[in-house]
Structure 1
Amino acid sequence: MLKALRSYGWPIAVGILLAALVVIRFPEWVGLPKQQVHFEQTAATSPRTQGPVSYADAASKAAPAVASLRSTKHPKKPSAPIQNDPLFKPYFDKNPPKNNEELSLGSAVIMSHEGYLLTNNHVTSDADTIVVALQDGRQTVATLIGSDPDTDLAVLKIDLDSLPAISIGHSEGVRIGDVALAIGNPFGVGQTVTMGIISATGRNQLGLNTYEDFIQTDAAINLGNSGGALVDANGNLIGINTAILSGGSQGIGFAIPIKLAMEVMQSIIAHGQVIRGWLGVEVERISPELAASFNLPNQDGIVVSGVYPDGPAQRAGLQPGDVLLKLDNEPALDGRQSMNQVARSRPGDKILIEVLRNGKPLKLTGIIGLRPPVDTSPPPEPTSDSIQKNGAS
């Protein structure tokens, strides 16, 4: 028996292995369903998709509508008491002290043939004179129509004939990886075009503006580019270049989406300011620690950390410590998102506010107010030194 096994053992083992390989490789031979394995592979003859070898057409289309700005400010120094002394006053009248003129360089985008320009508020803030230099060599003094520090935008007006106007694109359709060109006047060397891609969209909580919804790009944005154009590969305006990330980092610049910029510009032209809704609260997203301190079953919602005196929220009955659950049936999950929701409302509109107070649900009705200017807004009433505020509405 052992001798028979020794004689036929190897042939039998080899036969079993071959049968197994046949079943695995050709299962349909033994009545089993054929195994399907799908791989995604590009066809050898499929055409390659590639960008243009030059963006000269896009640059030449947009560049004429991008202007350079030179803003000057004359510091108003308080006069010394000796200047008002009758004995010395005649001397100072004949030889007035020279003020050092402050110069600020930037860029602007010509938005219409009528001469309306968009730029950054920080470029034109407190300027006594704003000189606009066009690509065709013409120069003129601009009039400041209005500004919006909350978005760092300003609207200028110039009166010249045959003005070029930029083609306005659709910033809401921008995708990560799209080619972008930044056009402006960096360092005052003259108009410059840099290229990169869209690195991110919807950037916020950067501490730059009150309302943040930035397009991030690695197209070089340098000092003097502020207020210039961010355009797509076809030369259409998708953003207003605003800021770079400081600290030696490279390739991180931010632009205000043109959709937001257009809304601000049209409101300034129509009303002289941006009309925004306002509740008058400071809020903070609920953290695990806050959820535990308020005995909340989950971390949904935002907590009211401060209420402006005699503001719409206070008149509606909101109190520090209330947990905002919904605003007009929209879940209040993020302070900045809720702030933008309120800002889009018109002053005078009613808003339903659902809160949790001391563990009990409560519904309140508020009347949207007009957001006051940034520099005149009263400070909120702090409720806890441990709360870091990330939004106000």
Structure 2
Amino acid sequence: MRRFAILFVSVALLGGLLAVAGAFDWRPGSTPLGAQNRSVVQSEPQERVVPPSREAVKYSYAPIVKTATPAVVNVYVSTRVRSFSSPFAGHPLFRRFFGDDAGPSRERMQSSLGSGVIVSPDGVIVTNTHVVKARGETEIRVALSDQREFDARVLMQDDKTDITVLKIESDETDFPYMQFEDSDAVEVGDLVLAIGNPFGIGQTVTSGIVSALSRSQMASDAVFIQTDAAINPGNSGGALVDMSGRLVGINTAIFTRSGGSDGIGFAIPSNLVRLYVDSAVKGRKIERPWIGARLEDMSREIASALDLSRISGAVVMRIYNDGPAAQAGLEPGDVITSVDGFQVGDARSVNYRLTTKGVGNSVTLTVMRKGEPKTVSVDLVSIPEPKASDFRNLSGEHPLDGARVANIGPAIGDELHLDDADGVVVVGIARMSISARLGFRRGDVILDVGGTPVHNLKDLDAALAQRPVEWQMSIKRGGRQLELRVPG
């Protein structure tokens, strides 16, 4: 079986337009296909004429490219990183005495490159987070198409959506920039151009069409515009533009078997990008709207249980008390099929629509309830912040010594990508503690201790107060359930 891989990249290749025009021309006396049914309507043969002008012969993307390419930049990132030189650095005994960051080490510079798009005349740039990776001491340099180079700084980074906003370190206010297009107006089949810096060879343009919309299978917190415009490594953060030279998306990933372009590329829609740019410029943190419901993708099993013929939509699995969904009358088992008239295929598509709508607004949801369509208006609010009493630092003679744990609530569940409606999750581990030596990780969900289910911190406190001969714990990590047995 051939294996497929997702490569995060940015786009820019050299391409042109192949226009194909043709018409069916039935010959006199021939029998047209389907004539036996007497249902084929024949049209007059198209007249073949010489192109009326030189401009008609030289149809080209050049005017669009000249408008768009000055706003696309190359992004160069240099990060100073430390690496261990000891051959024993990864050994558990070595870590026990020296820790993860101690011992012999050396510094080196790690470089990466990609693309970016200037979206304002004062030098605000959008690129991908996986291009910049601004961690610690990082230098960011951007090169414009006119060969000018500038330092840049990070205004905002978001790992979930892979969007980073930069600002050119300059007082200039007349940088070439690209205007946003409404990505909701894009349709499958629209012509698009991809502009970026593939393989570091320099600015390149490729052409293609919009192959699909609202692709959500490629990442956990995003939907994408799919295009067949050639995209290769180094194009990450580049522009996907329409035939007006406006930005419809930021190229970010490819689906490939070979490591190069196979004609399946993905771009973050411009409406989501614009939301992050506006927030970064205003110094605001992006607030993901909350409706007070936990959603799950539709599956064949769920569709069969609900007696539905279509395996599409987002299923309401839980309603939080006193949340907007409860107040609006949404019920567990409802299947959300559209948001404000836009069809949604899964839970991520719903979350995308809620995010672009924004906190403080309301959305109209179309849901299927017991086979009947219903319309529900739901307010979008900020996700409730956890209380101080929802956290606990644990210490003592038990496996969770040195762990910081918390009740799973909406905010913590969203941050750690947890599907669990309740329970206790590990949010931090102290170095050199018992929990660290036993291998506990951030995001581990404590299911039970000694066979007793753990629904909240009160349950966990009671379980850890015991002094068993042997500690037995069940932990959920990702999609796996792990069993821990250690002497008491």
Q: Is the 2:250–2:270 contact (alpha carbons within 8 Å) kept by the matching residues of 1?
A: yes
Count of residue pairs brought into register by the alignment: 338
Following superposition, the deviation at residue 115 of structure 1 comes to 1.1
Secondary structure, counterpart of 1:250 in structure 2:
coil
Aligned equivalent of 1:120, options 128, 139, 163:
128
The amino acid across from 1:165 in the alignment is P
Query: Structure 1's 293 and 247: CA in aligned 2 closer, same or farther, altered over 3 A?
Result: same
Tell me which of 258, 263, 268 is aligned to 1:251. 263
After TM superposition, give the deviation of residue 253 of structure 1 in Å. 1.6
Displacement of 1:281: 4.2
SS of equivalent to 2:107: coil
Deviations 1:105-137 (A, max 9, x none): 111111111111111122123342211122233
- 8 Å CA contact 1:278–1:343 kept in 2: the answer is no
Residue in 2 aligned with 1:190?
Answer: 202
Answering whether residue 138 of structure 2 is matched by residue 107 of structure 1, we say no
Greater share of helix residues, 1 or 2?
A: 1
Matched, 1:368 2:380: yes
Moved more, 177-186 or 49-58: 49-58
Q: Distance in 1 between matches of 2:375 and 2:241?
A: 46
Match status 1:137 vs 2:151: no
Residues 303-341 of structure 1, C-alpha deviations (whole Å, 9 max, x = no match): 23467x889479769999533468999798643443334
Say which SS state the counterpart of residue 75 (structure 1) adopts: strand
| Cα distance in 2 for residues equivalent to 1:59 and 1:303 | 44
2:45 matches 1:41: yes
Partner of 2:290: 278
Q: Identify if the C-alpha distance between structure 1 residues 51 and 132 changes in structure 2 by more than 3 Å, giving closer, same or farther.
A: farther
Secondary structure in structure 2 of the residue aligned to 1:142: strand
Deviation at 1:68, TM superposition (A): 1.0
Give the whole-Å Cα distance in 1 for the aligned partners of 2:309 and 2:70.
Answer: 55
1:159 maps to what in 2? 169
Per-residue CA deviations over 1:323-380 (Å, capped at 9, x if unaligned) read 3468999798643443334334543567788989999999999763335599824612
What residue identity is the alignment partner of 1:303? Answer: V
- Judging changes above 3 Å, is the alpha-carbon distance between structure 1 residues 370 and 231 closer, same or farther for their aligned structure 2 residues? same
Equivalent-residue separation in structure 1 for 2:370 and 2:133 (angstroms): 45
| Change in CA separation of 1:379 and 1:287 when aligned onto 2, cut-off 3 Å | closer
Alignment of 1:7-26 (within 5 A): none
Contact 2:117 2:239 in 1 (8 A): yes
RMSD: 4.7
Residues 180-229 of structure 1: CA deviation (Å, up to 9, x unaligned): 332222222222x2322214241412323512131x33332111111112
Which amino acid counterpart does residue 368 of structure 1 have in structure 2?
L
Q: 2:257 is aligned with what amino acid?
A: G
Equivalent residue, structure 1, for 2:68:
62
Cα distance in 1 for residues equivalent to 2:340 and 2:59:
50
Percent of paired sites with the same residue: 31
Q: Cα offset for 1:46? A: 9.0
More strand, by proportion: 2
Determine if the alignment matches structure 1 residue 205 to structure 2 residue 216. yes
Distance 2:271 2:373 in 1: 37
- 8 Å Cα contact 2:316-2:336 kept in structure 1: no
* Distance 1:304-1:50 versus aligned 2 partners, 3 A rule: farther
Whether the aligned pair in 1 keeps the contact of 2:76 and 2:113 (CA below 8 Å) is yes
Inter-CA distance 272–146: structure 2 relative to 1 (3 Å threshold): farther
Give the SS at the match of 2:81: coil
Q: CA deviation at 1:146?
A: 0.7
Work out whether 1:381 is the aligned partner of 2:392.
Answer: no
In structure 1, C-alpha distance between the alignment counterparts of 2:40 and 2:304, rounded to whole Å: 52
Q: Secondary structure at the match of 1:242?
A: strand
Task: Verify the 8 A CA contact 2:340 2:363 in the aligned structure 1.
Answer: no
Alpha-carbon separation, structure 1, partners of 2:227 and 2:367: 39
Distance 2:301 2:213 in 1: 28
Q: Which residue, out of 78, 100, 106, partners 1:72?
A: 78
| Deviation string, structure 1 residues 55-75 (Cα, Å, up to 9, x no partner) | 333333322221111122233
The amino acid that maps onto 1:237 is L
The CA deviation at 1:256 is 2.4
Give the TM-score taking structure 1 as reference length: 0.67
Per-residue deviation, 1:164: 2.8
2:168 is matched by which residue type in structure 1?
Answer: I
The one-letter code sitting in structure 2 at the alignment partner of 1:222 is: N
Q: Distance in 2 between matches of 1:239 and 1:42?
A: 38
Question: What amino acid maps onto 2:271 in structure 1?
Answer: K
Deviates more, 1:368-377 or 1:117-126: 368-377
CA distance change for structure 1 residues 194 and 290 in 2, over 3 Å: closer, same or farther?
Answer: same
Question: Does the CA contact (< 8 Å) of 1:316 and 1:367 recur in 2?
Answer: no
* Aligned counterparts of 2:275 and 2:115: Cα–Cα separation in 1: 20
Larger Rg, first or second structure (1 or 2):
1
C-alpha spacing 1:246/1:137, structure 2 compared with 1 (3 Å):
same
1:157 Cα deviation after fit: 0.4
**What CA distance in whole angstroms lies between the structure 1 residues aligned with 2:355 and 2:61?**
38
- Identify if the C-alpha distance between structure 1 residues 208 and 361 changes in structure 2 by more than 3 Å, giving closer, same or farther: closer
Q: Does the 8 Å CA contact 2:83/2:105 hold for their aligned counterparts? A: no
Q: Which segments of 5 or more consecutive residues in structure 1 lack a partner in the other structure?
A: 1-34, 389-393
TM-aligned CA deviation for residue 100 of structure 1: 2.8
CA distance in 1, matches of 2:278, 2:381: 20
Contact 2:78 2:112 in 1 (8 A): yes
Contact 1:291 1:297 (8 Å CA) reproduced: yes
Output the amino acid matched with 1:159. Answer: E
Q: TM-score, normalised by structure 2?
A: 0.55
